[in-house]
Amino acid sequence: MKMQHCSGAELKKYISFCKEIYKDDENFRDSLTDILKMILYKKGEFCKNAEITPFIITQGDRIAAVCTFIIAEKLSDTLQIAFFEARKECQEAVDIIVDTAKEKCRAEGLKKITVGLNGHVNYGLGLLASDFDKPACFGSSYNPPYYTDYFTKHSTKEYVLTSYLTDMERHSMEAEQKILDRICRNFTFRIADFRHLEPEMEIYTSLNNICFNGHPFYFERTFEEDYELFRQFKAFISGENLIIAEKEGKPVGFMLWYPDFNQLIPPGGRIGLSTYIKNKLVGWKIDRFKIVEIGIIPEYRNSGVVLGLFNKCTELTKHRYKWCEAGWILDTNNKSKGFGVRWADKEYKSYKAYEIEV
């Protein structure tokens, strides 16, 4: 097998190979190609502050696997094996990728390698590790079941992330009403004003950087990166999808949620004009939404703000959606995991991310 850096016309082969892996998979919806193109062609804000090297691994004249090495400026001690795709029974290709990554790390003084992080957590974190027979919710990772097997032998630290599923038709906040009354006297919960997207994105970026500081895979984000990402989806989401908690006018937490647009997308397809028409003009029914992020600044994590955010989300979504899929929570985050178990009906899908020591 041969591993080679690809550029120019070869990048189209990389993208085509990614699509080929899923060509017969009825559960696959393409939520990464637009981001992948941004990374490969180095056109986005994120790319201005990252070293990006795409690779194709071939066996004869056939592509066996692809991946991109990313070293982000604000995670400069780490090499990411990102945007990985591979055929079945290609362990040798994966071994070559990991060995090459280790050689680069040793040569440049990097401390570790990650697998499952695609540039930044906002672009994707975790390889799907269960429920491969169920459709992926919009924005969630999806991959063949053999991907996690490829990296287990190399991993020195494995992270398990769990999503949760709630039946909104049975869900109620009535039992917490007295507590919620107190919380709502101390905090306000508002929806974002996307008529003024830039200042709202400044709040969102600032809260992310405060709330997720210290998360194993998170590193500081810039306003320009978040603004670019939101602007791409502005036609599909509105201010209600970003709930901001405030204490005397000061933002102290947030929740980001959106409908499962994958229900409007055919197998193998990706979000686009037809999705917009079905959602806005034709009115196709979406019965599931996803809670993508919840963040509370440290000094207010025991104040009940998270319950207030869930209450506001329930007000906005009740009787509109049957199901809620709540993102993923690291298994080491016991407080958030405990709240997820209490609020949701059950644990749902699991994902894995890996660290590899050099």
10 falls within a domain? yes
Residues 331 and 209 occupy one common structural domain: yes
16 falls within a domain? yes
51 falls within a domain? yes
Average pLDDT, the chain: 93
Whole-angstrom distance, CA of residue 95 vs CA of residue 151: 9
Residues 16 and 79 occupy one common structural domain: yes
In 225-345, DSSP assigns E strands to 242-247, 250-259, 288-296, 323-330
| Domain closes at, from 143, 162, 181 | 162
Q: Is the pLDDT of residue 137 over 80?
A: yes
Residues 156 and 171 occupy one common structural domain: no
* Cβ density class 24-42: b for 16+ within 10 Å, e for less: eeeebbbbbeebbebbbee
Q: Is the pLDDT of residue 283 over 80?
A: no
Residues 32 and 144 occupy one common structural domain: yes
Residues 184 and 152 occupy one common structural domain: no
Residues 123 and 268 occupy one common structural domain: no
Q: For residue 196, what pLDDT is reported?
A: 94
Q: What is the pTM of this model?
A: 0.93
| Domain closes at, from 162, 188, 210 | 162
Assign residue 257 the CATH number of its domain. Answer: 3.40.630.30
Q: What's the domain range around 205?
A: 166-348
pLDDT in tens, 198-221: 999 999 999 999 999 999 999 999
- The enclosing H or E element of 152 equals helix 147-152
What is the number of domains present in the chain? Answer: 2
Residues 185 and 250 occupy one common structural domain: yes
Residues 150 and 215 occupy one common structural domain: no
Who's near 155: CB < 8 A, 6+ residues apart?
Answer: 115, 354, 355, 356
Residues 181 and 261 occupy one common structural domain: yes
213 falls within a domain? yes
Residues 192 and 225 occupy one common structural domain: yes
355 falls within a domain? no
Q: For residue 229, what pLDDT is reported?
A: 92
Bridge partners, residue 295, by sequence: 254
| Domain closes at, from 117, 141, 162 | 162
pLDDT in tens, 27-41: 999 988 999 999 999
> Which among 167-171, 174-178, 353-357 has the top mean pLDDT?
353-357
Distance, C-alpha 57 to centroid of its chain:
26
Whole-angstrom distance, CA of residue 17 vs CA of residue 191: 40
